[in-house]
Amino acid sequence: MKPLLNFILITFCSFLSGQNEGFKLSATNKMVIPFQLINNLIFIPVSINGVELTFLLDSGVQESILFSLENKDVTFKNTEKIKFSGLGGNVDLSGLKSINNDFKIGKNFEDRSHTIFIILNEEFNFSSHVGIPVNGIIGYNFFKNDPVEIDYIKKKITIYSNNKAFQKRAKKYKSFDISLEDKKPYINVDVKLISEAKNSKMLLDLGNSDAIWLFPKMIENFSYNRPNIQDYLGRGFNGDIYGKRSRIKEMSIGDFSFTKPLTAMPDELSFQHLKMVKNRVGSVGSDILRRFNVIFDYPNQKIYLKKNRNFDEPFLFNMSGLDIKNDGMEWDSDLVRVETKEANTNNGNEKIYSAVNEFQYKFTLKPIYSVAASRENSPGYNSGIRKDDEIVKINNKKASTFTLQQILDLLKSSEGKQINIEVRRKFQILSFKFTLEDPIPYEN
């Protein structure tokens, strides 16, 4: 599985922008929201007009976006047709704008006049690349009114409406100024490509699973670090995004420094229609942010950071070259042992029980995985694995016993690790073997 779909660079025409007041916390001073963390991205449970859904939390979008209902029936209010644009190849994407919806998160965090933008293109659905049903994206309005703390270790979000409680919590953090432009948070960081560190304006982007994105055209005298590879970077509103991946020497947020972070650099064609704020050169993504406890304080234009146990982890890459996706679920059978008791009678008419092992088939729903892409000259590609191969086994275990996250963790675990994969291709079972190899190791 390649780094997850990056929907982060999205712009709506200004005259289409919603006028939400945003979420309000009622009947309590703070509220905790549990979340799922998959490939560095945050997924939260939400309710829209009484229907339970799952949304990606993304500081890089202005409005709330819905693109899938997974057979659920939601009644949307006051809809009109619109077009919006974003990162990708084409210019326009059709959809709907719906206003005055009841959008609720948890028991007390609610917006009763929420605006939702609905994508009508069924292909715009990244559930298969996440491994769970995902219905949409929520952005600015989640953060607008109250400080929001994200604890990546405990996988919980805390909303603070009481300023005294928030300030007590914030004392444990290091604060940095941010600017809110087009309803998105920006921060100045130091980026050292090779030798000289340059102060750089970056979008703080929870919806980007990578560590760093840089736009070469926006950086004076930019040159690509070597080695680098051409790769699929993700998907925007208007199509697939391609570009280069490499490592830069260092990136620093104040005194917090990161050595050899992985960096994605989209091709100019991918963002030629994107409207960007002045002086922005890239994004700080979730592979950086997950290394902290983070507090977004939009009302005071601050971000608060505190190191967590992820801070010193290396920046790992999917070294297989295989993009894995979930193709749904199927019924699968497992042979299980069932122990029963059999009664025998001895001469004294006393019943003696002995254990008898029997085997039965247990049927359960399990995930199906396939190869969405196989990068040329990668270890997986060179072994013979191709796009659309259905994965049957990984390291001699049924693929269905893995989650998508576990497969991704395996494919970026450690250079030199041997991977055995069995696939089904046109009714034929084929076995392949390859060794993980980092195509972009850091070189001084």
**Partner residues linked to 82 by β-bridges:** 95
Higher pLDDT, 22 or 161: 161
CB 66 within 8 A of CB 118: yes
Work out the average pLDDT over 380-385: 96
In 3D space, the residue among 168, 186, 166 whose CA is nearest the CA of residue 178 turns out to be: 186
User: Between β-strands 280-284 and 197-204, what pairing exists: parallel, antiparallel or unpaired?
Assistant: parallel
Q: What percent of the chain has pLDDT over 90?
A: 52
Query: For the whole model, what pTM was predicted?
Result: 0.84
User: Which residue has better confidence, 12 or 61?
Assistant: 61
Query: Measured between alpha carbons, how far is 267 from 241 in angstroms, rounded to an integer?
Result: 8
Question: pLDDT (tens digit, 9 = 90+) per residue, 364-380?
Answer: 667 899 998 899 999 99
Determine the average pLDDT of the residues in 259-283.
85
Is the pLDDT confidence value at 11 over 50? no
Amino acid letter for position 303: I
Q: What is the mean pLDDT of residues 268-288?
A: 84
Highest mean pLDDT among 86-95, 178-187, 325-334, 338-347: 178-187
Q: Buried b / exposed e across 338-377, counting CB within 10 Å, b at 16+?
A: eeeeeeeeeeeeeeeeeeeeeeeeeeeebbbbbbbbbbee
Please compute Rg for the chain using Cα positions: 25
Q: How confident is the model at residue 2 (pLDDT cuts 50, 70, 90)?
A: very low
pLDDT value at residue 395: 96
Q: Is the pLDDT of residue 129 over 80?
A: no
Give residue-wise pLDDT tens across range 82-101.
Answer: 776 554 444 456 788 899 99
| pLDDT band at residue 210 under the 50/70/90 scheme | very high
Q: Is pLDDT of 252 > 60?
A: yes
Q: Which residues pair with 213 in a beta bridge?
A: 264, 283
How many CB atoms within 10 Å of residue 156? 13
Grade residue 123 by pLDDT with cuts at 50, 70 and 90: low
Query: What's the average model confidence in pLDDT over 101-106?
Result: 92
Q: Give yes or no for residue 423 having a pLDDT over 50.
A: yes
Query: Quick one: pLDDT at residue 216?
Result: 87
Burial 68-88 (b: 16+ CB within 10 A, else e): beeeeebebeeeeebebbbbb
pLDDT of residue 9: 40
The yes-or-no verdict on residue 212 having pLDDT over 70 is yes
Residue 408 three-state SS: helix
Higher-pLDDT residue of 289, 193: 289
Render pLDDT for 346-364 as a digit per residue (tens, 0 to 9).
Answer: 555 665 555 555 655 555 6
Q: Measured between alpha carbons, how far is 279 from 191 in angstroms, rounded to an integer?
A: 14
**Which single residue is written with the structure tokens 């675990």?**
413
- Does the structure show a pLDDT above 90 at 299? yes
Q: Is 373 helix (H, G, I), strand (E, B) or coil?
A: strand
**Residue 302 exposed, middle or buried by CB count within 10 Å (0-12, 13-18, 19+):** middle
Question: For residue 218, what pLDDT is reported?
Answer: 85
Q: Is the model's pLDDT at 143 over the cut of 70?
A: yes
Higher per-residue pLDDT: 271 or 42: 42
pLDDT score recorded for residue 12: 41
pLDDT band at 432 (very low <50, low <70, confident <90, very high): very high
Three-state DSSP at 223 gives: coil
Tokens of 314: 């290396």
pLDDT in tens, 151-175: 999 999 999 988 888 988 999 999 9
Burial of 309 (0-12, 13-18, 19+ CB in 10 A): exposed
Average pLDDT in the 231-249 region?
Answer: 80
Output the average pLDDT for the chain. 84
The full set of domains in the chain, from first to last, is: 10-175 (2.40.70.10), 178-291 (2.40.70.10), 322-334+364-435 (2.30.42.10)
Question: Considering only 67-76, 199-208, 237-246, 337-346, which range has the smallest mean pLDDT?
Answer: 337-346
Residue 142 clears pLDDT 60, i.e. is over it: yes
- DSSP strands (E only) in 144-255: 148-151, 156-160, 174-177, 179-181, 184-192, 197-204, 212-214, 229-236, 239-247, 250-253
Antiparallel, parallel or unpaired: β 136-138 and 51-57: parallel
